[in-house]
Amino acid sequence: MEKGHVKLTEKQLTILKYLLENSQGMEIFIVNKSQSELAKELGITRQALNVHLRKLREEGLIKTGRGFIMLTEKALEILGMRSAEVFVLVKVEPRARNQTYARIVKTLPVEKVYRVTGEIDLIVVVNQSKLDEFLKQISRIEGVKETVTHVVIETLK
């Protein structure tokens, strides 16, 4: 079976669907730099970096692959990074929509901003670790009438 230019067997497609259905939605933090680049930026040798990365990998704090390093949930917890998503519903004054949208997108610590129909104007996705900063900043933006915040406690699918 061909899906998006990738040829898959029925079994491979079944396995992918199973993995998706049994996966946990999460935010991923990946560094796409070579070890040489990282060592230089950190002011240490590549060999020293390798020793530290091995220890971090053994502790379950990072996962590595060819050309990338991924922080695990365990690492994010140690760093005080709550990685849950937060949905902030935003009502905006009609007269100030374009300027307000632009300020939110350009100046606030947001992951995604959706313009929607209905009783609200925007759904803003924020990482929980940035929520306090986001709420302080959005309250100062002219044109924002109201916000309602919903923190994700569990991803069901």
**Residue 118: CATH number of its domain:** 3.30.70.920
Residue 156 placed within a domain: no
* pLDDT, average across residues 61-72: 85
pLDDT at residue 128 in the model:
82
Residue 2 has pLDDT above 50, yes or no: no
Residue 126 or residue 20, greater confidence: 126
Residue 122 or residue 85, greater confidence: 122
pLDDT at residue 145 in the model:
96
Same domain, 27 and 53: yes
Residue where the block lists tokens 């040489």: 36
Same domain, 6 and 73: yes
The pTM is what?
0.54
The residue segments making up the domain with residue 96 are: 85-151
Last residue of a domain, one of 78, 97, 117: 78
H-run or E-run covering 147: strand 144-151
Q: Write the pLDDT tens digit of every residue in 8-56.
A: 788 887 887 777 666 555 567 788 888 888 889 999 999 999 999 999 9
> DSSP string spanning 37-87?
HHHHHHTS-HHHHHHHHHHHHHTTSEEEETTEEEE-HHHHHHTT----EEE
C-alpha distances in Å from residue 18, one per residue of 8, 9, 126, 133, 157: 14, 14, 29, 38, 12
Nearest alpha-carbon partner for 90 in 101, 78, 80: 101
